[in-house]
Structure formats: structure tokens, C-alpha cells
Structure 1
Amino acid sequence: MSESSEFQPGRPVVLRGGTVLPMDASRRVLTGADVLIVDDRIAAVGPGLDVPEGTAVIDATDGIVMPGMIDTHRHMWQTAMRGYGADWTLTQYFVWYYLESGRLFRPEDVHAGNLLAAIEAIDAGVTTVVDWSHGLQTVDHADAAVDALRSVPGRAVLAYGNIQQPPAEWTATPEFRAFARRIAGDDMLGFQLAFDVTGDPAFPEKPAFEVARELGVPVTTHAGVWGATGDDSIRLMYDHGFMTPETVYVHAASLSADSYHRIAATGGSVSVSTESEQSAGQGYPPTWAIRAHGIPVSLSMDTSVWWSGDLFSAMRTTLGADRSREHLQAQAKGDTVTHAALRAEEVVSWATRGGAHALGRDDLGSLEPGRKADVVLIKNDHSPVSFPLLNPYGHVAFQAQRGDVHTVVVNGRVVKHAHRLLGVDLAAARREIDATVAHLRESLGEEGWQKGMNPDVPETKILDNPYTYTDYRSGSTHGG
């Protein structure tokens, strides 16, 4: 689909007359307001703005204008298998991807998954995605991942990982170092290292942290995952000085207060994937504990092999999980919760400003003059759910869905308008996905493909962690 002639590069754009959630520090709600975009920046926010001659006008009446959402943890390469693992436990996921069939993915399969995931993200108003790309078995796989991300008009961060090799091994190769140098410093494509810490006292992941420090890139890690990573992992990182404000701890759902104190003291943030934690079993969604320790929060959806690829579901389930625990805790003591501690405006902030903070991007996550123009308009004149608009934060968190995303702007470019993607070849993405699915089905055989939706777990593979580069096993991962 070609880009609309209405939105040519360099032409200013104004969204007129919407309910604007600037997501600034005051969490104001502006009614009947405009958002003016000039080049790649927010130029002005307010009612009745004067705009340059020739500005493209988008009618935001009866809609909500908010910053683009930011997903800080998504295994984009797995999107070709959308819904395949709907009934998996985390152990089955580990067996299928880490120990058995993950090796079947070719560079072109990583490209297919990343392409579809990137398109899906902007369609749902997610303008920045951290591609937690732990299927990069070779640099060719990494190049394919990057090619896909750069072919879609969204913002991304490649979190480079390889579950088939020890982190100390793949980070040490000259091929990886050359790749890291090639993609450094791109405003539209950031870079992180993605690997986990098993808790092995020998700390086999230490060389990978040293490479990250040498390259000056953040580390994102699955922390506090029941049966896989726990307090020993956090303690090793802390004792060796590898916990930094840039570190993102994914899930953090099975940790003790000691670990939360260490994360808080070193300034890191937590990426909560509530749909995943509720269903797969990493631990109870930890927003209640994270809030108690003052740790910054961002949201993520994890993987489309299980769950939805949007942050509306993430916000909704996060509110539900946090409030459910609050009620249960009170009722266990014979008390009644009269005012919810977690409010809708907080989770909307986590989906926007929280993600920007986690990525160290203070130019994203809010609609303020001078910030990058990543903007979403939620408006659906054909839906009875679009009115009345009484509590905009509550509407975003509980009422809206991806089909209500009317317009999306990334870096000043309109990439979706009137519910239709612009500049995206969805048919080509479908062809790539079809080829990947055909490859996987043929490689597994039809019986294996069907069995994979509920795979057996051999007794020898019910592990404390799914990695094979260490024999370390510890009950400390079973509850902080």
C-alpha cells in the first residue's frame, strides 16, 4: 500500500480537537486540544493552535490523542507461530524453543517473524518495540532481524541474544563485535544485549556483561522467573557491579525483597508482561511489589506464540492482576478494599513514559514540545464503545482495543490513518509467514507439528533453567 499523498515527508500535521493525554508529569487531560507536528517533533499542544500554511489536518474530535506506546520486551521472531503455544506452560515453551525446535529457524524465518511483528505493533499503536531477539543463532540471523525492523516505519530496539549458545561465547566472536559496531547510534533502531543469569556461582555470564560494558550498551534479562532465574542471579549481578540504571529486568516475578532492594538501589527498571506471568507461570505479576519498592515499571506482551500483540491487553490484565491480589490480601484478613491503589492513569503511564524511561529515551513517551512525534489517535466513529468519553485513562485501559487505533505517527511520519496502514505491504509479509510455517511443518512432520501444541516434557528436561551451558541447579529459583 503506498503512502497517502496527503501526508508527504516534510509536510506539517495537526490533530485537531481531540482529548489529549500529554502524559507529562502532571498527567493532565486536555479537552478540545490540538497537537501540531513539524518534521519529526511535537511543535505545540493546546486548543486552537495556529499552524503553518499547508498543514495536513486530522480530525481528532471525539478521539483520544496520546503518545505512542512502548513495548519493552517482545520476542518478535516467534510471531510467525502466532497462537501455536496457546496452551503451553513455560516449561513446554522452554522445551520447544530452547532445547528442541528453536534451532529450526533460518535467517529468513527470523525476518518473517520480525516483519509481521513490526507491522502488528504500529497497527496497534505501539510505536517502539524492544525486539528481545534470543533466536539469533548466527550474525546472518541478526542481519535478517534488522532488515525486517528497518523495512517497517516503526521504532525498534534490537536486544541481541542467542539461546543456543552460552552468552560468554556468542558475545566474544569477532562477527558479533562487527555487527554491534555496524548498528550503533541509530535513532530509529537501538541496541541492547539480551541474556539471562542462571545463578551459577561460577558466574559464566560475567564475560557477556563485560562485553556490554565495553560496547556501552544496556543489558535486558529475564529475572525472577520461577524455576529458571532468581535471587542468586540478582546477587551475582550486584556483587560484580553489573546492575545499572539502564538494566531492564523482565518479569521480576519470583524475587525476594532483597532483590527488589538491589534493583531499586541501582536504578534499574522492570518490564512486566502480565498476560505471560498469569498464564505461563513466571510468578504472580509483580506490580504490587515493584510499586512498594519504588521501582520504575514498563509493560510488554512477551510473545505472540501465546498472547495478544498489543498493549491494551497488557494494561487491562495488569490492572486486573494487581487489583485482584489487593482484594484477596484484604479479604484474607477480613478487610475490604474501598479505593484501588493502582489507577488506570498509572498503567497508561507505564505503557508510554515508563517504556521511554526504561530505554533511556527522554524524547519519547509524552506529547510535549520538542519531544519526538510518536503519536496515536484512538477514534472509532463506527463503534458504540467510543462514547461517552468520561474517563480518558480508563477508556484507554479498559475500553479501547487495537481496532480503535485510527492514526499512528512515528517520528513525524503518518504510518496509519483512518484505520489503514500506510506504506506497508501486508501481502508480502503474509507470503513470508506462509513460507516459514511450511518450513517448520515440513521439518517437524505433521505428527510432530500437532504434538508441538502440547508437547511432552521428559523428566530429564524439567529443569531449574533451560540453558545447557551450565549444570547448576538450585531450589532458590522456586520462590524468593
Structure 2
Amino acid sequence: MRSTLLASLASYTGAALSASVLLSGGTIIAFDEDSNSLNVIRDGALLVTDDRIVGLYEEANPKGIRGDVEIVDCTHKIITPGFIDTHRHGWQTALKTLGSNSTLAEYFVTFSSYAAKPLYTPEDVYESQLAGLLEAINAGVTTTLDHAHNMWNTERAEAGLDASVESGARVFWAPAIDPTNGYSVPDQIKDWKKWNKRDFPNDLVTLGVAYDGWDVGAPEDTLAVAKLIKDTKPAVLTIHWLGGVWPIDSSPSLVHSFGVLNTSTAVVFSHGPGLTAAEAELLRATNQFVSITPESEMHYGHGHTFSHHIHEQAALGVDTHLAFSTDILTQARLWLQRTRSRLFDEVMHKWDIPARNPMSVNQAFLLATRQGALALRRPDLGAIKVGAKADLVVFDGRTPGMLGWADPVAAVILHANVGDITHVLVDGKFAKRDGKLTYTKYAELVERFLLSAEKIRKDFLARPLPVLAGSFFGAEGYAFYGSAKDIDVVRGQGTGYGPLFRGTGDKTTANAAVPGTKHDEL
């Protein structure tokens, strides 16, 4: 095997090795294209030149490495590909913790793009997006698909794009075309075409499109977006897909009717609780993907029944910073155990005892890495192999939580946390080194972001508490609000639901907008 790996380096011998780094002595979770599976190299080495992986070795100190190559000791460490987040809204970082008890219906009327529009200046969008992306890098997330539905005007939209460029992360930035007062769909498409001609300082930021109006938008807007996609062939189109109990569709079959699933554009459908066998077959036939956001979908009650049946066309995402971190490890762990539990239940409901665990840690690892790359049609991402982009994460295998591991995949998926990440490389450059972000202006960003978040939070909490009654979005006769039983963990009379501790002394007012908290508990 070593000779094959070394031979793969031959085509790179003419490259300038002055920008080369050798990660030496670690356990590498590589990917074998021939078997389509993970391949573990213990006490090996990985050579990066510029933005690419150019060598994999089965020994820590391979022969023939130039003297000007920087050697980074990775003894007792685990080297993985960077994790890939296929669905998130970075601009919402400033709302962090405010949605901790909210439902999806409350989200629509309090935190959504439409509701949050008056709260954000372009500067607020910039600080929020940049802080969220640096949080992601710190967590080993090197690639993000950002469904940027902060398309409120040109300046606020562009602020998210500029922050994405500044972050040093690999970002597929997909502005969400959506009519808003003073910013029409034709104007948004005009801006998109302008951004599409923009020269970025590197290839880390890629322009995409987001659109959710396939079933509810004005027909002329939907046709215009479909034409834009077919004419310009953006790298990715991302779509919120609900269905099921939710009277919001945007299903693959509906989108397919506009002729955009069989183009070169990768289409990522986020959530997908309305998945059916027919929709699954259409995704397979067109090689398009679903982004499963486990924590968000369980938190908000999207509903999940069949998503585990289409893992070969699925990847993982985080969704929103207002309630969740950008730790894709957590999403992989949650989804692994959620899937196991569901399939175990199917066996036990027949009064049988499960004889085999239905999902492995290897599969969860692939969902968090390789599958995200395939969803974006970027096979050079999400895998450690010669020729792939050098987006890498290095875990310290001797932290208290990792100590004693034998299987590196299980160690990462079941035992690791963000604090175990020593290094992160994006495009061959250290974005996190020795446990600290390399972004030199982070301290300045922290102060700006905290001031911005405090201002947004103050304005947000001054709003009236939403009252959800009757039917969802006026869907008379179809979707009505219902109440789940509250859970109290204190014996006897208990403590009730409890307030949301929102800061500023936690002094609440009668009209404070705290979704998920009852009026008599404010």
C-alpha cells in the first residue's frame, strides 16, 4: 500500500514545496476510492503542498521529504478531513440562546428572515456572519453551505458575503431570493448576477442560490429564479423542504417540474420531513441530496419518519446559531443514535430482540464528511486522499475524553469534542493552530460582535410575545395549533416551565418576547 501512496506523489514533484507541511506521526482517517470506504493509517504522515494533499505515508518520517518542508508533530493525534455543514444561517449568530425553548411555528413569527429584518444593519450582519464562521472553524467545520436569507437589501446581503470572504472558511454562500419591501426579485437577481462576476481573493467562497418559493411564491418570481439557475448554472441551489404536517412543500418533484434538478447545479433540500418513496427515488435518479439537521429537527418538531432510508443521498447540517452550535460532531452523534433507536424500535415492536446494531460509527463519520462533499458535487472535499483539498482537522488523542481509544473513527464520533481539536487547516493553511484560531483580528471582532448582539437582543426582547392560536399561517381546515404536555422534573407541585435567562439582569417585562415561555412565567 505504501508504494502505491508514494507513487501518487510523483506527479507533484515539480511543485514548489516551500509552502509544504508534513503532518507526522498521527493516525489518519483516509478514504479509499476503490472500496468507497474509510482506511485508517496508523503512525503515518500526510504531506500538504499549497492547497492539496500530495502524499500519504505509512511511516511517520518518510524518505524523500525536502528539508524546507515544515514538519508538525502529530504523534498520539487523529487526523480527519474537515467536517461539512450543508445547511445553516450564519446571520442568526447574534440571536444565540434566545430560541432555546421555541417551536418551529414560533420561529417563523419571531426569528425568521421576515421577522428579524428590522433588527439588523449591514454591520450587524457582517459581525454575526463572521463570528459564526469562526465558531465553525474552531469546531473543525471547514466547509459551510449558508442559506443566506438576509436578503433585505443590497448592503445587508453583501455584508454576509464580505464576512464569508474575510473568515477564511470554505463557504458556499447562497443568497435567498425572496421578495421584500423595497427589494424586488428582479433587483435581487440583478445583484446576484453582479456578485457572480465578482473576483474573490481565493477559491474559498462559491456563489450559490437559495429559493423557497416553489410552491408559495409568485409564479413570475419562481419562473425567473428557474431561468437564472438554468442560464447561469450556479454551483449549488439550496431549498427548505418541509411537507408532512407543514403546509409548505418545495419538494423534489415540484422543483423538478421547473427543470432544475437535471442540470449541473447541485441541489440540497434541507430537512425533508415530507420524504416519500417516490421523492427518494427522484433524489437518487437526479443525484440530489437532503441535508438532515438532527438537533434542529428534533428541537423544532419538524417530524422525521423516513430520512434514514435515504442516507446515500443525505448529508448533515446545523441550521441556526440561535439555538445550536456549529459542531457537526454533535449532529453526527445525535443522528447516529436517533437512527439506531428508531430501527431498534422497529424490531422490538415485533417483540424481538435486536441481533445487530443497524448503523455504524463509520457511516456517521461519512455523513459528516464525504457525504457533504458529494451533496455539493465536490469530491475533492470531505476525504483524505492524494489530490484532495487540504481541509483537515487534527484531534488530540490524549485529552481526558479521548484517552484510551483504539478505533479512531469511534473516538471522533462518540468521544471527541471541540476542545479536543488542536489544528484546523483550510485550503492548506492553518485556520486553528495549537488550539487557537489564527484569525488575527478575533479580539476586535469579539467586542464588535458583543455590542451588535446586545443591541439586537434589546430590540428583539422589546417586542410583544407572539400568541399562536387557531390555524398555522391561516391554513384553515388543515394545520391547527396543538399543545404538547409540559414536562417538569421537580417532584410535587414542581417549578413550572421556567423562564428563559436572557441577560441584562434577567429582569423581564410584561411584553418581553421570549418564545417558548408562558406569560405567567415572565
TM-score, normalised by the number of residues in structure 1: 0.87
Alignment-derived partner of residue 361 in structure 1:
378
Contact 2:179/2:185, CA 8 A, preserved across alignment: no
**Residue 458 (structure 1) shift:** 3.9
Equivalent residue, structure 2, for 1:87: 101
1:305 deviates by: 0.4
CA distance in 2, matches of 1:215, 1:415: 32
The one-letter code of the counterpart of 1:459 is A
Q: Specify which of 86, 89, 93 is matched with residue 75 of structure 1.
A: 89
Residue 76 of structure 2 is matched in structure 1 by: 62
- SS in structure 2 opposite 1:241? coil
Higher relative contact order (CA 8 A, sep 6+): 1
Contiguous gaps of at least 5 residues in structure 2 = 1-16, 480-522
Farther-moved stretch of structure 1 (433-442 vs 393-402): 433-442
CA drift at 1:343: 0.9
Residue identity in the other structure for 1:280: Y
- Cα contact 1:168–1:205 (8 A) shared by 2: no
Q: What whole-Å deviation, never above 9, does each CA across 1:381-429 have from its counterpart, x for those lacking one?
A: 3x22222121211111110011011111111111211111113322222
In the alignment, which residue of structure 2 is the partner of 1:5?
Answer: none
- SS state at 1:334 partner: coil
CA distance in structure 1 between the partners assigned to 2:425 and 2:379 by the alignment: 18
Distance, in Å, in 2 between the alignment partners of 1:380 and 1:82 is: 31
- Asked whether 1:36 is paired with 2:47, we answer yes
Uncovered stretches (5+) of structure 1, i.e. residues with no partner: 1-8, 466-471, 476-480
Q: Show the 5 A alignment for 1:245-256.
A: 246-256=266-276
In structure 2, the residue matched to 1:350 is: 367
Q: 307-316 or 146-155: which moved more? A: 146-155
Change (3 A) 1:401 1:176: same
Q: Look up the equivalent residue of 1:351 and give its one-letter code.
A: A
Q: For 1:309 and 1:232, how far apart are their aligned partners in 2? A: 26
Preserved contact between residue 278 and residue 285 of structure 1 (Cα < 8 Å)? no
The number of residue pairs the alignment matches comes to 453
CA positional deviation for 1:231: 5.7
| Percent identity for Structure 1 against Structure 2 | 27
- 2:494 aligned residue: none
Q: What is the SS of the residue equivalent to 2:68?
A: coil
The structural deviation recorded for 1:176 is: 3.2
> Residue 222 of structure 1 is aligned with which of 237, 240, 246?
240
CA–CA distance in 2 between the matches of 1:258 and 1:473?
Answer: 26
Instruction: Please give the root-mean-square deviation of Cα atoms over the aligned residues, in Å.
Output: 2.8
CA deviation string 1:80-126 (max 9, x = no partner) = 12222111111111111244333322211110111101111111111
Q: Does 1:140 align with 2:155?
A: yes
- The one-letter amino acid of 1:100's match is A
CA distance in 1 between counterparts of 2:44 and 2:94 reads 40
1:234-313 equivalence runs, <5 A: 234-244=252-262, 246-284=266-304, 286-291=306-311, 295-313=312-330
User: 1:201 touches 1:236 (CA, 8 Å); kept in 2?
Assistant: no
Shift of 1:287: 3.6
Instruction: Give distance in 2, aligned partners of 1:272 and 1:464.
Output: 28
Q: Secondary structure at the match of 2:43?
A: strand
From 104, 108, 111, the equivalent of 2:126 is: 111
Q: Report the TM-score, using the length of structure 2 for normalisation.
A: 0.80
1:155 matched to 2:173? The reply is no
The aligned residue for residue 58 of structure 2 is: 47
Give the aligned residue type for 2:87.
Answer: H
In structure 2, relative to structure 1, the CA distance for the partners of 1:53 and 1:180 (3 Å cut) is: same
The AA in structure 2 aligned to 1:242 is V
How many angstroms apart in 1 are the aligned matches of 2:40 and 2:304? 32
Distance change >3 Å, CA 460–CA 417, structure 1 → 2: same
The alpha carbon displacement at 1:358 in A equals 1.2
Larger of the two Rg values belongs to structure? 2
Q: Which residue in 2 is equivalent to 1:457? A: 467
Label 1:276 to 1:407 Cα distance change in 2 as closer, same or farther (>3 A): same
Query: How many angstroms does 1:78 deviate by?
Result: 0.5
Deviation at 1:326, TM superposition (A): 0.6
Q: Which region of structure 1 is more displaced relative to structure 2, 73-82 or 160-169?
A: 160-169
Give the Cα separation in 1 of the matches to 2:149 and 2:99.
17
Distance 1:173 1:298, change over 3 A: closer
| SS state at 2:48 partner | strand
Shift of 1:264: 1.7
User: Is 1:190 aligned to 2:210, yes or no?
Assistant: no
CA distance in 2, matches of 1:189, 1:202: 30
- Cα 1:170–1:21 shift into 2, 3 Å: farther
**CA 1:461/1:111 → structure 2, altered by over 3 Å: closer, same or farther?**
farther
Matched position secondary structure for 2:45: strand
Q: Distance in 2 between matches of 1:170 and 1:336?
A: 59
- How far is the alpha carbon of 1:357 from its aligned partner? 0.9
> Cα–Cα, structure 1 residues 84 and 116, in superposed 2: closer, same or farther, change >3 Å?
same
Distance across 2 between alignment mates of 1:10 and 1:136: 42
Q: CA deviation at 1:437?
A: 1.9
CA distance, structure 1, for counterparts of residue 344 and residue 160 of structure 2: 43
1:330 positional shift: 1.5
